[in-house]
Amino acid sequence: MDRDLRDNDCVSDLSFESEDSPAPSTELLERLPSYDHLLQRDSQQVSFPPSEALGRLLEPPSWPSILEHSRVPVVTEAVAREALLSFVNSKCCYGTAAARDFVIQELRQQTLCRYRLETFSESRISEWTFQPFTNHSVNGPQRGTLPKLWDIQVQVPAMFQEDTRKSQVPHTSLVKDCHKCRGHGRYKCSGCHGSGTVRCPACSGTKRRARPPRRCPLCSGSGRRRCSACSGRGRKTCATCRGERKLVHSVQLVTTWRNSVFEFVSEPHLDCPRELLGKARGESLFRDENLAVYPIVDFPLQEISLASRRGIEEHSAALASRGRILQQ
């Protein structure tokens, strides 16, 4: 049987649906230890992680030895011409004759160094959420001690793979009357103002048609039609509580994993667009992965050492206010 037909509330006792967003008033929610900040205006709070010790400082690499054994690719005339022809072929209106026959007089080779820092971080925020109460078991504060957000176990995705997951914080559930319908489970239909009927659109409520003069066939001369918005009931089921009258409010943990990237390319000595140099492929000289990496020191190009320090400082400063570093 429909819930609306079983309710004892008459339509005159109901109010119209609120036009405001369906957010509960803070007065409806009890204060939970360690979660009082959620009763403030923004109803969302960033949780700061506990500080963690850095890993053991590694011995600085021997750059002369690394550079000595690195294989810097040599661009020959054949390689240069092949690259030029590949570029020409990628353009629909370019001819290949000039690129194939012109004479290469000089090749200038330049070696660039690129520093790239990837920082995989985790941030956690808490916020109130709610759902209709269907007489199911509720995990409230009486069931146990409220955990701190960073003590809640959350499955971490693969390193450097961004993701967002939501989960309910244990022992934070509260059952309250629906703030949207004020616990009625329904509200008065705004289309018919609770009467269940609206003015006939064919005769405008006059009960008769002017041409030819006769009784309106659409409303059978009553001047009224059943309201299509509420099917003639004069009331509509509350969409927030789905007619259940009550809501279960609980604190939700939102965990976000982000991959931040800092990249620097050493200053070129030839007139070449930097965006093209950034796409060039080369050989990896050094790679380090840890909970936190340390700046590169004593690299032959000082700008690389400075960029390394700057990138680490930027990521540390940006993440200190919103999360913790899992891997670099």
Q: What is the pLDDT of residues 25-37, one digit of tens each?
A: 555 566 666 665 5
| Mean pLDDT value across residues 259-285 | 78
C-alpha–C-alpha distance, residues 328 and 42, integer Å:
32
Q: What percent of the chain has pLDDT over 90?
A: 18
C-alpha–C-alpha distance, residues 100 and 117, integer Å:
40
Residue 313's pLDDT is what? 92
C-alpha–C-alpha distance, residues 321 and 193, integer Å:
51
pLDDT at 241 over 70: yes
113 closest CA partner among 271, 272, 280: 280
Residue 85's pLDDT is what? 86
- What are residue 263's phi and psi, to 5 degrees? -135, 140
Among 19-23, 184-188, 207-211, whose mean pLDDT is lowest? 19-23
320 — pLDDT class (breaks 50, 70, 90): confident
Residue 326, SS3 per DSSP = strand
pLDDT at 10 over 60: no
Residue 19's pLDDT is what? 46
Residue 306's pLDDT is what? 92
Instruction: Name the one residue in this structure whose structure tokens are 């550079």.
Output: 67
Mean residue pLDDT across the chain: 79
Q: Per-residue pLDDT tens for 89-116?
A: 888 888 888 878 888 888 877 778 889 9
- CB burial string 212-238: b at 16+ within 10 A, e below: eeeebeebeeebbbebeebeebbbbbb
